[in-house]
Chains A and B, each alone.
Chain A
Amino acid sequence: MNVQAIRVRLSAWRTELSYIIGLLVFVGIVELIVLVLNPQLSGFWLGLVSLLLAIIPAAIWLSVFYSVDRVEPEPKQYVIGVAVLAALLAATIGQPLINGYFKVPEWIGTDTISEILGSILIIGFIEAFLIYATVRFSIFYSSEFDQRIDGVVYGSAAGLGYAAMLNILTVVSNGGIDLGAGVIRIVVTQMVHGALGALLGYFLGRDKFDKERVWWMSIGVVLAAVLYGLYSWLSGEITQAGISLSNNINGYNPWPSLILGTVFAIVVLGAVFTLVNRDLRADMGLPPTVATTTSTTTTTTTTSTP
């Protein structure tokens, strides 16, 4: 790994943060359009616009990871292929299991305990496993998966593909979405699944290159499932009317979920990139606690000296 590659990977977190802001700007633009123009779409056009809204954040987020890995970029077809594969698994296994077989929406709200347990044990584990399986049984042994950070890239792609399919299925099953509230739901779904995919990808990357113990990957799946379950429960709680008394749409207020989803994504991605940076520093023999900017400059200077 050359010095430039390391520098780019160390700046991944800052790049990531800026793209989260980009997604929020995307939400802001759509909300502004809805507020100012108040488009009255229906039928085909509502469905088409809703589908576009469902796909655009996935494309934005994929471009994030692609730009992060630009020194030694992953082949586009592989990244997109992983996303598409995850989307197919979501449509053919994930959602049919969660909504069709277990009928989770019908009983998940019975009480707090069952809601948390159901979110973790069924939704969390199924989604985490499918995202893991997408990478593990496709790109994992490829020569293109040649660095730990690639796990994060492909894991995120899988998470985003999964989320994109969830959004598309929501749009299709409802014949469209309310543009104002719907775009928030779409972006939050993307951010949360992208972050969880990155987390699983980190574990996959370590699993491949550090020859971790056999239970290492299980910890990753459990962690992702628990985090998603807790997020899902908390998101459901705070979007109910009564906690936020303004801007709600007949009892459903999407804004708190946007805040929660953003915080969740920033915290999870922050943790992932901190761990990635720590591993890189360990590889280079640098202390893990040195500030990123200083150490990067020092590394570049030192290594460039003949």
Chain B
Amino acid sequence: MDDANKAANSAPGMMQNMADDAERMLVQVKALGKRVNRQDTISTLLVVGLTILAVILGALVRNSVVNKTTTYTDAAKLQITYPAGWVLSDTGADTGTAGQITVSNQKAGAAPVRFEVQRVAVDASTPVTSSLGVVANGLTATRARNLSSYKVLSTEAFTGSGKQPLQIKGLPGYKTSFVYVNTPNSALQGNIPSVILGEDWLVLKGDKVYVFTLHSTQANRDTALPLFETFVDSAQLP
């Protein structure tokens, strides 16, 4: 009986102790939770900050290379300046009448932009517009044979209402816009053909016609055309 009474009397005390313990534990858990949450927050903010910092540094790298150029001079002293990192191929334009120099951003993926320079010897005594027209027609005939669905979109030999002869680089010029369907040249394209828009800018200097050509898709034409204009402007003809 005594034991029972003692137990009965001590029960509220035990309950009180248990409640106190539970309260202390709860406070500890809450404190731990706050500490953990604070640590998690700092950890997350560090990751976010680090990523932002890395991307900013990446943007600086990008800015340092996008306007970077490379210069190439062939054996005939034709000098071109093109975006650094593009791949150059010279198939003998230095021979004077055959071959061409090609630069392209091959690593850009499925549809790289391509610039070409080739030169054609002409009779210096022939009228300027005739020489340029003959070379342009020759290019058209060659491409019509070699390219799929090749079509000339427009030609431009004169400019303005006064029909002044077109000038490129301060020299007599001639422009042709064309289109063709490109067969796949990359694993990413598969069997899907792509439509390529092209520009021929012909410049007559001495007894040579220099043909600058741009090949690009519709999607990257807006980016490619200003680069092509810079490419042509910066070329130094011998």
Q: Which residue in A107, A174, A217 is a CB contact (below 8 Å) of B66?
A: A107
Interface size on A, residues (CB 8 A): 55
Tell whether, in the assembled complex, residue B36 and residue A211 are in contact, meaning their CB atoms are under 8 Å apart. yes
Chain B residues with CB below 8 A from A41, complex form:
191
Tell whether, in the assembled complex, residue A214 and residue B43 are in contact, meaning their CB atoms are under 8 Å apart. yes
Tell whether, in the assembled complex, residue B44 and residue A136 are in contact, meaning their CB atoms are under 8 Å apart. yes
Q: Bound state CA distance, A132 and B51, in angstroms?
A: 11
Q: Bound state CA distance, A170 and B31, in angstroms?
A: 49
Chain A residues with CB below 8 A from B84, complex form:
110-111
Q: Which residue in A50, A109, A118 is a CB contact (below 8 Å) of B58?
A: A118
**B64-84 vs A, Cβ < 8 Å mask (1 yes, 0 no):** 111010000000000000011
Within 8 A of A (CB), among B39-61: 39, 42-44, 46-48, 50-51, 54-55, 57-59, 61
**A196-215 vs B, Cβ < 8 Å mask (1 yes, 0 no):** 00000000000100010011
Tell whether, in the assembled complex, residue A122 and residue B106 are in contact, meaning their CB atoms are under 8 Å apart. no
In the assembled complex, A225 has its CB within 8 A of some CB on chain B: yes
Say which one of B131-139, B147-155, B180-188 lies at the interface with A: B180-188
Tell whether, in the assembled complex, residue A216 and residue B43 are in contact, meaning their CB atoms are under 8 Å apart. yes
In the assembled complex, B171 has its CB within 8 A of some CB on chain A: no
Chain A residues with CB below 8 A from B13, complex form:
none
Whole-angstrom distance between the Cβ of A118 and the nearest chain B Cβ:
6
Tell whether, in the assembled complex, residue A122 and residue B50 are in contact, meaning their CB atoms are under 8 Å apart. no
With contact pairs A108-B107, A118-B58, A122-B55 given, residues A249 and B47 touching in the complex (Cβ less than 8 Å): no
In the assembled complex, B110 has its CB within 8 A of some CB on chain A: yes
Chain B residues with CB below 8 A from A110, complex form:
65, 68, 83-85
Chain B residues with CB below 8 A from A207, complex form:
43
Tell whether, in the assembled complex, residue B55 and residue A176 are in contact, meaning their CB atoms are under 8 Å apart. no
Residue of B nearest to A208 (CB): B40
Interface centre among A110, A128, A207, A250 (most CB of B within 10 A): A110
Tell whether, in the assembled complex, residue B85 and residue A111 are in contact, meaning their CB atoms are under 8 Å apart. yes
With contact pairs A102-B59, A217-B43, A217-B47 given, residues A109 and B108 touching in the complex (Cβ less than 8 Å): yes
Chain B residues with CB below 8 A from A214, complex form:
39, 42-43, 46
Residue of A nearest to B50 (CB): A218
Say which one of A24-32, A70-78, A179-187, A295-303 lies at the interface with B: A179-187
In the assembled complex, A254 has its CB within 8 A of some CB on chain B: yes
Tell whether, in the assembled complex, residue A102 and residue B186 are in contact, meaning their CB atoms are under 8 Å apart. no
Residue of A nearest to B38 (CB): A214
Chain A residues with CB below 8 A from B68, complex form:
110
Tell whether, in the assembled complex, residue B187 and residue A185 are in contact, meaning their CB atoms are under 8 Å apart. yes
Residue of A nearest to B49 (CB): A218
Tell whether, in the assembled complex, residue B187 and residue A178 are in contact, meaning their CB atoms are under 8 Å apart. yes
Q: Bound state CA distance, A116 and B43, in angstroms?
A: 27
Chain A interface (Cβ < 8 Å from any Cβ of B): 40-42, 46, 50, 102-111, 114, 117-118, 120-122, 124-126, 128-129, 132, 136, 170, 173-179, 181-182, 185, 207, 211, 214-218, 221-222, 225, 236, 249-252, 254
User: Which 9 pairs of residues, A with B, have the shortest CB-CB distance?
Assistant: A110-B85, A121-B58, A109-B107, A181-B187, A122-B58, A178-B190, A125-B54, A129-B51, A175-B192
Supply 28 A–B pairs (Cβ within 8 Å), ascending by A. Answer: A50-B190, A103-B62, A106-B105, A109-B86, A118-B62, A120-B54, A121-B55, A121-B57, A122-B58, A124-B54, A126-B51, A129-B47, A132-B47, A174-B190, A175-B192, A177-B187, A177-B188, A178-B188, A179-B190, A185-B188, A211-B39, A214-B39, A214-B43, A217-B46, A225-B54, A250-B186, A251-B185, A252-B187
Chain B interface (Cβ < 8 Å from any Cβ of A): 36, 39, 42-44, 46-48, 50-51, 54-55, 57-59, 61-62, 64-66, 68, 83-86, 105-110, 184-192, 223
